[in-house]
Amino acid sequence: MTEVSIEEVGVAVLLDAARAAARHAHAPYSRFAVGAALLLSDGAIVTGTNFENASYGLSLCAETVALATANAQGRLADVIAVAVTGGTMGSDGMPTGSTVVGPCGRCRQVINEAAELAGRDLPIYCAAADGSAVERHMLSALLPHAFGPKDLGLA
Ligand code: THU
């Protein structure tokens, strides 16, 4: 099957999906809503949102939830782009603000698992909740010298 590209689908479409996912953030403790969207090689989009816990340290980030969902669909190796947005919740629960939100360190390592499996670097589109700014970073730039299968003698 021919692979779609992020240019074909549009960064705005992927970011809109991330923003829509943030609506469902379970973040009553931080009041910081994050949405993530993964573009798969066939054009499908898989989303995730942060899922906090009263035992704070157990909280899951949006990107990790999205990647676990892709994995549950047998699609971890098909991820070709990632989008993230987030911010402090407004009165309607949606993220607000003009600060660009990018993946935390743990999420970078989790994204790396998909990249390693697919044998490709991944573009990560990081956006401010109000849409005023978008940054594109390659995973390899956000997580240089990543720990991966090679470190376990598996690649
Ligand atoms: N969060 C994410 O969902 N993704 C990140 O990459 C950074 C942080 C969430 C975790 C927590 O629910 C809230 O944002 C505040 O840290």
Question: Which residue numbers are catalytic?
Answer: 63
Confidence of residue 155 (pLDDT cuts 50, 70, 90): confident
Q: Is the distance from CB of 61 to CB of 31 less than 8 angstroms?
A: no
Confidence of residue 14 (pLDDT cuts 50, 70, 90): very high
Q: Quick one: pLDDT at residue 2?
A: 82
pTM of the model: 0.97
Pairing of strands 79-88, 123-128: parallel
State how far the Cα of 60 lies from the Cα of 85, in Å rounded to an integer.
15
Give yes or no for residue 1 having a pLDDT over 80: no
Give the binding-site residues of ligand 1, using a 6 Å CB cut-off.
27, 30, 32, 34, 50, 52, 59, 61-63, 103-104, 107
Name all domains of the chain by residue range, CATH numbers in brackets.
6-152 (3.40.140.10)
Q: pLDDT tens across 39-88, in order?
A: 999 999 999 999 999 999 999 999 999 999 999 999 999 999 999 999 99
